[in-house]
Amino acid sequence: MDVSEKDELRNGDTTANYDDESANNNNPPPDWRVSGSNQVSAPNDSYPPENQMMDSFGQTLWYDPTNVQAVGYGGFNGVNNASSSSSSFRGNNNMDRSLEMGWNLLPPKGNGMFLPNASSFLPPPSMAQFPADSGFIERAARFSLFSGGSFSDMMNHHHQQQQQQQPLGNPTESIGLFLPSNVGVAHNDASAAMKESNVVRSSEQGNKQNVPGSGNVSEDTQSSGGGGGNGQKGGEASSKGFDSKKRKRNRQSSEAGQSHRSQQSEEEADNNGDKKRNDEQSPKSQGNKTNSGKQTSDPKDGYIHVRARRGQATNSHSLAERVRREKISERMKFLQDLVPGCNKVTGKAVMLDEIINYVQSLQRQVEFLSMKLATVNPQMDFNLEGLLAKDALQLRAGTSSATPFPQNMPMVYPPLPHGFMQQTLSSMGRNISSPLSPINGGYKRQEANGWEGDLQNVIQINYGAGDVPPDSQAAAAAATAASLPSSNMKVEP
Amino acid sequence: MQPTSSMNKEFLKKWQMGLQIFRPSIDNTSVSERKRAIKLSADVAMASLRKGTTCWSRALIQKTASEDNFLVRQMLSGIKEETLINKKLPKVMCHRKIVRRSKKILMRRKSRSAMEEVAAKAKKLVKRKTQGLRNAVPGGEFMSNNVLLIQETLDYIVSLQTQVNVMRSIVDAAAAGIER
Of B14, B179, B16, B8, the C-alpha closest to A429 is: B8
Angle, alpha carbons B134-B145-A365 (nearest 5°): 25
Residue A384 has its nearest CB partner, among B16, B42, B130, at B16
Q: Count of CB atoms within 10 A of residue A22's CB?
A: 8
Distance from CA of B128 to the nearest CA of A (A): 9
Quick check: A63 and A127 in contact, CB under 8 A? no
Q: Is B166 within 8 Å of A375 when comparing Cβ atoms?
A: no
Q: Does residue A329 belong to any structural domain of this protein?
A: yes
Domain residue limits, chain B: 5-179
Cα A326 from Cα A332, distance rounded (Å)? 10
Q: What is the pLDDT of residues A226-283, one digit of tens each?
A: 444 444 444 444 444 444 444 444 444 444 444 444 444 444 444 444 444 444 444 4
Interface test with B, best of A250, A251, A261, A270 (most B CBs within 10 A): A261
Query: What are the pLDDT digits (tens) for B8-26?
Result: 888 888 888 888 877 777 6
A429 → chain B, closest CA residue = B5
Please list, in sequence order, all residues whose beta carbon lies within 8 angstroms of the beta carbon of residue A165, skipping any fewer than 6 positions away. A50, A51
Q: How far apart are the first and last CA of chain B?
A: 37
Whether the predicted pLDDT of B89 surpasses 80: no
Contacts of B2 in chain A (CB under 8 A): 338, 423, 427
Compute the average pLDDT of residues A37-58. 46
A417 closest CA partner among A334, A340, A336: A340
- Rounded to the nearest integer, the mean pLDDT of chain A is 50
Chain A residues lying within 8 Å of B161, measured CB to CB: 362, 424
Of A261, A356, A366, the CB nearest to B42: A366
Contact at CB, B174 and A373, closer than 8 angstroms: yes
d(CA A329, CA A397): 35
Q: Is B179 on the interface with A (CB under 8 A)?
A: yes
A260's CB contacts (< 8 A; 6+ apart) are A253, A254
Out of A328, A373, A380, whose CB is closest to B147? A328
Q: Who wins on pLDDT, B51 or A119?
A: B51
Which range marks the domain in which residue A359 is found? 316-376
Burial class from Cβ neighbours inside 10 Å (0-12, 13-18, 19+) for residue A397 reads buried
Closest CA to B45 of B19, B68, B66: B19
What are the phi and psi torsion angles at B14 (to 5°)? -65, -40
Residues of chain B with pLDDT > 90, as a percent, come to 2
The residues, any chain, with a CB within 8 Å of residue A404's CB and separated by 6 or more, are none
Q: What is the pLDDT of residue A142?
A: 58
- Chain A partners of B136 at a C-beta cutoff of 8 Å? 356, 359-360, 363
Alpha-carbon distance B46 to nearest alpha carbon in chain A (angstroms): 11
Cα-to-chain-centroid distance, residue A278: 16
Interface contact flag, A331 B130, Cβ < 8 Å: no
Task: List helix spans (H) across B23-113.
Answer: 31-48, 55-67, 69-75, 96-109
Interface test with A, best of B7, B46, B147, B149 (most A CBs within 10 A): B147
Note the pLDDT of residue B111.
67
Q: Crossing angle of helices A148-165/A235-243, nearest 10°? A: 180
So what's the pLDDT on residue B169?
Answer: 87
Start-to-end C-alpha separation, chain A: 77
Q: Best mutation site among B26, B28, B32, B38 for testing chain A: the one with the most A CBs within 10 Å?
A: B38
- A130-161 b/e with 16+ CB inside 10 Å = b? bbeeeebbbbbbbbbbbbeeebbebbeebbee
pLDDT for res A144: 53
Residue A130 pairs with which residues in a beta bridge? A47
* Interfacial B residues in 39-68 facing A (CB < 8 Å): 39, 42-43, 50, 53-55
Give the span between the Cα atoms of A100 and A94, in whole angstroms: 10
Q: How far is A436 from chain B (nearest CA, A)?
A: 6
Distance CA A2, CA A124 (A): 5
Work out the angle at residue A153's Cα, subtended by the Cα atoms of residues A151 and A159, and round it to the nearest 5 degrees: 100
Lowest mean pLDDT among A150-154, A394-398, B106-110: A394-398
Question: Using an 8 Å Cβ cutoff, are B154 and A417 in contact?
Answer: no
The mean per-residue pLDDT over the stretch A66-92 comes to 43
Rounded to an integer, the average pLDDT of A428-441 is: 41
When comparing pLDDT for B78 and B128, which is higher? B128
pLDDT of A117 strictly over 70: no
Give me the total of CB pairs closer than 8 Å, taking one residue from chain A and one from chain B.
222
pLDDT-derived band at A115, boundaries 50, 70, 90: very low
Is B155 close to A366, i.e. CB distance below 8 A? no
The residue in chain A having the minimum alpha-carbon distance to the alpha carbon of residue B17 is: A384
* Percent helix, strand and coil across chain A, each to the nearest 5: 60, 0, 40
Rounded Cα–Cα distance for residues A143 and A340 (Å):
49
Q: Do A349 and B129 touch (CB under 8 A)?
A: yes
Would the CB atoms of A265 and B160 count as touching at under 8 Å? no
Q: Is A258 helix (H, G, I), strand (E, B) or coil?
A: coil
**Spatial distance between the Cα atoms of B163 and B42, rounded to a whole number of angstroms:** 7
A304 beta partners: none
Interface with chain A: mutation pick from B60, B64, B135, B170, highest number of A CBs within 10 Å:
B170
Confidence category of residue A364, pLDDT binned at 50, 70, 90: very high
Asked if the structure places residue A141 within a domain, the reply is no
Residue A338 placed within a domain: yes
> Which among B126, B158, B170 is the nearest to A348, CB-wise?
B126
Q: What is the pLDDT of residue A362?
A: 92
The CA distance from A220 to A145, in Å, is: 7
CA B85 centroid distance within chain: 14
Write the single-letter amino acid at A111. N
Are B1 and A334 in contact (CB < 8 Å)? yes
User: Could you tell me the CATH number of the domain that includes residue A370?
Assistant: 4.10.280.10
Do residues A289 and A184 touch, judged by C-beta distance below 8 A?
yes
The C-alpha of B36 sits at a distance from chain A's nearest C-alpha, in angstroms, of 8
Residue A266 Cα, gap to closest chain B Cα (Å): 6
* Backbone angles phi and psi of A334, in degrees to 5: -60, -40
Region A393-407 average pLDDT: 36
Which residue, among A323, A324, A333, A427, would best test binding to B if mutated, counting the most B CBs under 10 Å from its CB? Answer: A427
Element counts in chain B: helices (H) and strands (E) = 7, 0
Q: Tell whether A350 is covered by a domain.
A: yes
Q: Mind listing the pLDDT tens digit for each residue in A90-102?
A: 444 444 444 444 4
For the stretch B93-130, what's the b/e string if a residue is b when 16 or more beta carbons lie within 10 angstroms of its beta carbon?
eeeeeeeeeeeeeeeeeeeeeeeeeeeeeeeebbeebb
- Decide if A368 is inside a domain: yes
DSSP helix, strand, coil percent of chain B (3-state; round to 5)? 75, 0, 25
Q: Which of A27-31, A306-310, B68-72, B171-175 has the lowest mean pLDDT?
A: A27-31
Return the top range by mean pLDDT from A130-134, A230-234, B20-24, B95-99: B95-99
B45 neighbors B160 (Cβ within 8 angstroms): no
Question: pLDDT at residue A163 above 60?
Answer: no
Return the DSSP state at A212: T
Distance between CA atoms of residues B1 and A337, nearest Å: 8
Confidence tier at A300 by pLDDT (50, 70, 90)? low
Please, are residues A230 and A297 in contact by the beta-carbon 8 Å criterion?
yes
Position B73 confidence tier, pLDDT thresholds 50, 70, 90: confident
Cα–Cα distances in angstroms (integers) from residue A428 to residues A75, B12, B45, B85, in the given order: 48, 11, 17, 33
In the chain, the amino acid numbered A427 is S
Would you call A431 and B8 a contact, using CB atoms and an 8 Å cutoff? yes
Phi, psi (rounded to 5 degrees) for A71: -75, -55
* Residue of A255, A267, A252, A416 lying closest to A333 (CA atoms): A255
| The total number of structural domains that make up chain A | 1
From the list B125, B126, B171, the residue facing A372 with the nearest CB is B171
Instruction: For residue A209, give how far its alpha carbon lies from the nearest alpha carbon of chain B (Å).
Output: 25
| A366 in a structural domain | yes
Nearest residue in chain A measured CA to CA from B22: A380
Distance between CA A309 and CA A361 in Å, rounded?
41
Confirm whether A367 is domain-assigned.
yes
ipTM of predicted complex: 0.91
The reported pLDDT for the residue numbered A231 is 40
> How close B98 comes to chain A (CA, Å)?
27
Contact A91, A234 (CB under 8 A): yes
Task: Evaluate whether B42 touches B60 at the Cβ level (below 8 Å).
Answer: no
Domain-located, residue A232? no
Encode pLDDT of A187-232 as tens digits.
Answer: 444 444 444 444 444 444 444 444 444 444 444 444 444 444 444 4
Query: Are the C-beta atoms of residues A82 and A42 closer than 8 Å to each other?
Result: yes
Does any CB of chain A come closer than 8 Å to the CB of residue B114? no
B19 touching A (Cβ < 8 Å): yes
